[in-house]
Every structure is written in C-alpha cells, then in structure tokens.
Amino acid sequence: LHGDAVTIKQVERAIADDALASGAYAPQPAPTASGKRVAVVGSGPAGLACAQQLARAGHGVVVFERSDRVGGLLRYGIPDFKMEKALIDRRLEQMQAEGVEFRTGVDVGQTLTGEQLLADFDAVVLATGALEPRALDVPGRELDGVVLALDYLEQQNRVVAGDVVPEGERISAEGKRVVILGG
C-alpha cells in the first residue's frame, strides 16, 4: 500500500455513491400489476426487503409500522455514526416510487386487528423484528442504572433525530462508569 489506509466502510460508501450517481439505485417499478395486495407488518430490515421484492413482483404493498418513523432497528437500533439515517430515507423514497405505501403509528393487534388485515389484503407478512429483549436472569438485573441497550439506543437515536425526551426520562451515561454485557 502506498498512502493512507482506508476502512471497509469508506470502500463500501464509495461503491454505493458511485452506483447512486450512475443510476443503479433508480426505482424499479413492476412492469405489470398482479392485482394482489400484501400487508407487511414491521418496517425493519426484513420487512423493507420483503416489501420491496413484493412490489417489484407487481403486488400492491402496504407496510405497517407502529412507531412514528419507518425503519425499525435500522432507524432506532443503530447509531448515526454507524449508519446515517439519510440512507434509510433514500431507500424509502425509492420504494415509494416503486409503489410501496407506508403507514406509521399503526400498532397491528391494537389499532388494527389481524381480522381487518386478512379482510383487506390477499396476504399478510409478519416481520415484527427483535424489539423484545432476552431476559437476563442474574442478581442485580432489577437495580437502578441497569438499562437494556435497545432502550438506550432508541432514545439516543430519537434525540439525534431532534425529538425531545423529558428531563426525568432521559437515559444518560454521562459521568458514569459503564459496563456493557453482550456485543
């Protein structure tokens, strides 16, 4: 090697930026419609990938997300320094141009029943993701200051996105010694 080293992220980003500039990420709407409608419950990585493939196959696709923004763990489980949220937004624009509809704030099973989905759609895909943390059965788990990573990450990603978290609810590690279990 001659010169400064580059990281894999820089290489991947350069490839993606070049593909974007060349039109490789242009929307690919289906040439014909199947007449079938599919509901996708969950807008994380699996839900989005499924929705895009179904739309490109010609099906009418509606993605239901209980949160206020689409993306699931992509949006709320990964810090911006690892994946900028503009990348998600760019993909969502592509998917909308391909005919995918997104409905946020819909908690399937609460605000919308399974019976309603089955009545309105030809098929339903459940891609609800990994929001239920694994129980940690160790002494001290119930103590103050023990926080699940996803709770912290979701809140921090909301703060970075400009949401306001009330002072008493803010999870902060500022000035504290932190131990992380898992990886």
The residue ranking higher by pLDDT, 33 or 6, is 33
Residue 2 has pLDDT above 60, yes or no: yes
pLDDT band of residue 1 (cuts 50, 70, 90) is low
- Tell which wins on pLDDT, 126 or 24: 126
pLDDT in tens, 24-33: 888 999 999 9
- pLDDT tens, residue by residue, 59-114: 999 999 999 999 999 999 999 988 889 989 999 999 999 999 999 999 999 999 99
Considering only CA atoms, which of 122, 107, 109, 100 is closest in space to residue 30?
100
Q: Tell me what pLDDT residue 16 has.
A: 83
Taking the model in full, what pTM does it have?
0.85
